[in-house]
Each structure stands twice: as C-alpha cells, then as structure tokens.
Amino acid sequence: MDFVDSPSPDFIRGVFTHPEIWPFLCDDSGSDPESFVIHDSPLVNYVRLEVDGDPIGCLMLVQQNAVTLELHSALLPGKRGKFTNEAFTGLLAHLRDVAPTIRRLRTWVPAWNRAALVAAKRVGFKEVGIEPGAFLKNGVLCDLHLFGVSL
C-alpha cells in the first residue's frame, strides 16, 4: 500500500464525487456532486491510496488539534472489501512515520451506513460516542457515530 500526498485536484474530485461513493459521503444539503469543495488549508491533507501504482481511493485528513486527525475516506468500487484492512492498517503505520506528534485518529459514520460501521470496528476503531440526529439523509435525521483509534 502506497500513500501519495497531495494528489491532483481532478483525482480527489473524481474519487469523492464518484457516483457509487458520493451518496455515502453527503447529507441532504450536499446532494449535488458539484457542491464538493477541495479544501485548500494547511490543516487539510489529501492522500491518494495505491497498490502497485493502481489507485484504490483517497483520504482526507483534517488536523483537529496538536494530536488528533479526523479521517474522511473513499475507497473506489471494487476495492472496498479487498483493501479496507490493508488501507487502514497501512495508514496507521504511515502516520506514525510521517506525523509523529499525532496520537489519535477519529472518524464519523452515519448510523444508516452499516457497512462503514462494521468496517470501522473491523479495522480497530472503537466507538467513543454518538451524536443523536446530527445527519440528515433522505429527509430523516440520523445519528452520527464517532470512532477513534490511538496510534
């Protein structure tokens, strides 16, 4: 698994707005992929995931404070089940190497996304909280589950 920092904006947009990925990333306010914004901030880092030069997805890592990153992930169709464990295990090792001050990685998962809830637990994230009714999907308020893992 290779982690390529600062992929092209076209790659980032292409992955996060992919028709099979976009519906899982947005709530009712972001129903149009044209609304996707690539954040240009020193606190946001995009990482291209590759296996043998083949792209498998993209990560957005947002620095929350001196020790915590928030993760937003998008694995391409056909790559999710096959590379999920490898991607997240590799990410933790990668972060230990390139960001030694980071001690915690967290991610939010909407309650309706059962596959992502299972995957987060399977790769070692622990559920640390729930924010009730914090995500509007298809006109229904859903809970957001907060997961975290220590590096």
Q: What is the pLDDT of residue 35?
A: 87
**pLDDT, mean of residues 132-138:** 94
**Residue 120 in 3-state DSSP?**
helix
**Mean pLDDT across the chain:** 93
- Given CA atoms 18, 24, 26, 27 in this order, what sign does their dihedral have? positive
Tokens of 151: 């590096």
| Rg, C-alpha atoms of the chain | 15
pLDDT at 43 over 80: yes
Q: What is the pLDDT of residue 95?
A: 92
Backbone angles phi, psi at 142, to 5 degrees: -120, 155
Global pTM reads: 0.92
Beta bridge partners of 23: none
pLDDT at 31 over 80: no
Q: Percentage of the chain with pLDDT > 90?
A: 74
Q: What is the pLDDT of residue 78?
A: 86
Residues 95/104, Cβ–Cβ less than 8 Å: no
Which domains can be identified in the chain, with CATH numbers? 2-150 (3.40.630.30)
Contacts 24+ apart (CB under 8 A), 123-127: 123/84, 123/85, 123/88, 123/89, 124/88, 124/89, 124/92, 124/149, 125/149
Q: What is the pLDDT of residue 30?
A: 72
Residue 14 amino acid letter: G
**89-114, pLDDT tens digit by residue?**
889 999 999 899 999 999 999 999 99
Q: What is the pLDDT of residue 67?
A: 97
Tokens of 1: 């698994």
Tokens of 116: 């992502």
